[in-house]
Amino acid sequence: MENLLDKITRLEREHDHIDPELIERKRIKLGLRNIDGTGVVVGITTKGQVKAFKRDRHGKNVPIPGKLIYCGIDVEDIVAGVEREGRYGFEETVYLLLTGDLPSEKDLAIFNMEIGKRRTLPDVAKKILSFNSKNDDQMSALHSAVASLHKFDENPRSTDIREITRQCIDLIAKFPTIIAYNYRVADAKNGNPVDFIEPKPELSTAQNFLYMLHGEMPDEDVARAFDLCLILHAEHGGGNNSTFTVRTVSSSLTDTYMAISAGVASLAGHRHGGANESVMEMMDGIKKNVKDWDDEGEIRGYLEGLMDRKYGDKSGKIYGMGHAVYMITDPREPILKEKAKIFAEKTGRLDEFALYDRVGRLAPDVIKTKKGKTVCPNVDFYSGFIYDMMGIPRSLFTPIFAMSRVAGWAAHRTEEIMLGRLIRPSYISTMRKKVYYKPLKSREQS
Ligand SMILES: CC(C)(COP(=O)(O)OP(=O)(O)OC[C@H]1O[C@@H](n2cnc3c(N)ncnc32)[C@H](O)[C@@H]1OP(=O)(O)O)[C@@H](O)C(=O)NCCC(=O)NCCS
């Protein structure tokens, strides 16, 4: 098989190569992107809006400081409102995304209770999670667990919106439990016991996750900051890869477990959900190799080396910088930066915070100089640092993103089903000549 596999791979490489000139000539919008890098408009949504440009009087798009809106409400207002009232806000964000309305006090209490009741996993599901795996990949573990939950649903294939909403709320409630338990299974390889701590119905999503992960009640400030991270990652319009994936598969009327696990699969990809982990690895390199953290010249030199593929993962990227839509600011970044500073003070890591701050100021200029591209620090720049200060392992950074974004996926799934049209774009074929089918005996032998 080894030799044949080499042959198949070689043939694939030859056959799959499409001439970039042909792509340009045929005006194919690869990655569903227009020539200027903006996304091709392929849908319409009431759920989330990412604003980064305004039209000037000549009809030209001019970049503006970024805004992220959930069902008409600026996410910065949600965060500020929840903080002002000293409450947890992820659950009401879920309610808002599903319904388009903020819940009344009474409805929020009922909704919290319903989510609280649904966090527990059936014993058989816990058994499935306990199976030993040859790797410790936490996104793969989440993906299989979500897909397997259809086993516990008597009506998984229903296309009734009420049933789908029930399934979605159930999954939103169970994601933190699955993620904490999967980690505990992986951690058992380090000699720690596989201890499935039962969720407490009276706790918020943020508190419950930290409780099930660490086995003790979290500090209130830590849980509140974690809740804020969940609010900020819950939704990002219909065009981001995982939400669009969920919308695409939902449009075929596949079931909720398959649709949401497809979202997890998309988010797991390195081009999508994993950037906060990459920021941490990049910062490890900076901390190790930059001798004087106050020396902006030395930091700049290292950042240039990253772009010249000399350092880090040699991808040429400065992680945590740039965004497919935002150019001037990513509205989530300053909120996280402020939290990072508070935690750095608390945990005695202000020197690291100052280094992040310097990198955040210098990197956009380095990228502008080398690529001519205007970028800003993005949501991933500080989020990993915050999770790290909370004692959360890196392998959980992307699953935590999923724990939050499942809210947006659920909201977009019901909306797509209500729209009721199968997503079915078109591909141009590059095949030129007709190839006749040869009988087996007359084919060339190798
Ligand atoms: C997010 C990202 C993919 C957006 O990409 P985009 O808008 O399609 O950017 P473009 O491809 O138009 O960028 C133009 C050029 O600037 C470069 N560039 C953009 N962001 C960069 C970064 N952070 N570091 C180095 N170069 C960068 C691109 O590589 C590209 O160079 P090329 O023309 O030689 O290929 C990109 O900014 C990136 O890779 N950032 C780092 C990873 C990251 O933090 N991702 C999380 C996003 S929330």
pLDDT at residue 2 is higher than 80: no
Among candidate residues 143, 236, 323, 412, the one labeled active-site is 323
Higher pLDDT, residue 217 or 271: 217
172-201 pLDDT, tens digit per residue, is 999 999 999 999 999 988 887 788 999 999
Give the number of the atom of ligand 1 that is nearest the alpha carbon of residue 373: 16
Query: Strand pairing partners for 321?
Result: 377
Q: Is 267 in the pocket of ligand 1 (CB under 6 A)?
A: no
- From 325, 371, 385, mutation site for ligand 1 pocket: most ligand atoms within 8 A of C-beta: 371
pLDDT at residue 432 is higher than 80: no
272 catalytic per annotation: yes
Instruction: Residue count of the chain, please give it.
Output: 446
**pLDDT given for residue 191 in this prediction:** 81
**pLDDT given for residue 49 in this prediction:** 96
**pLDDT given for residue 112 in this prediction:** 98
- Measured in whole angstroms, the distance separating CA 443 from the mean position of its chain's CA atoms is 48
> Which alpha helices (H) appear in 272-396, and where do they start and end?
275-289, 296-307, 332-347, 350-371, 380-389
CA pair distance 354, 363, nearest whole angstrom: 14
pLDDT at residue 322 is higher than 80: yes
Higher pLDDT, residue 109 or 59: 109
150 catalytic per annotation: no
Residue 117: band (very low, low, confident or very high) from pLDDT cuts 50, 70, 90: very high
Phi, psi of 420 (to 5 degrees): 75, 30
Among candidate residues 137, 187, 214, 272, the one labeled active-site is 272
pLDDT at residue 399 is higher than 90: yes
Average pLDDT, the chain: 95
CA pair distance 246, 265, nearest whole angstrom: 10
Q: What is the dihedral of CA 136, 140, 146, 152, to 10 degrees?
A: -60
Strands 73-74 and 48-55: what pairing? unpaired
**pLDDT given for residue 433 in this prediction:** 81
Higher pLDDT, residue 60 or 413: 413
pLDDT at residue 305 is higher than 90: yes
CA pair distance 320, 352, nearest whole angstrom: 16
**pLDDT given for residue 32 in this prediction:** 94
**pLDDT given for residue 1 in this prediction:** 76
Higher pLDDT, residue 45 or 435: 45
Which among 375, 338, 332 has a CA at the least distance from the CA of 353?
A: 338
323-339 pLDDT, tens digit per residue, is 989 999 999 999 999 99
pLDDT at residue 280 is higher than 90: yes
Q: Is 306 in the pocket of ligand 1 (CB under 6 A)?
A: no
pLDDT at residue 61 is higher than 90: no
Whether the CB-CB separation of 249 and 219 falls below 8 Å is answered with no
Higher pLDDT, residue 302 or 130: 302
Instruction: Kindly give the distance from the C-alpha atom of residue 203 to the centroid of ligand 1, in angstroms, as a whole number.
Output: 39
Q: Is 367 in the pocket of ligand 1 (CB under 6 A)?
A: yes
**pLDDT given for residue 36 in this prediction:** 80
**pLDDT given for residue 38 in this prediction:** 83
Q: What is the mean pLDDT of residues 385-402?
A: 97
Q: What is the mean pLDDT of residues 264-269?
A: 96
Share of the chain above pLDDT 70, in %: 100
Which domains, ranges and CATH numbers included, belong to the chain? 90-269+397-419 (1.10.580.10), 275-389 (1.10.230.10)
Q: Is 324 in the pocket of ligand 1 (CB under 6 A)?
A: yes
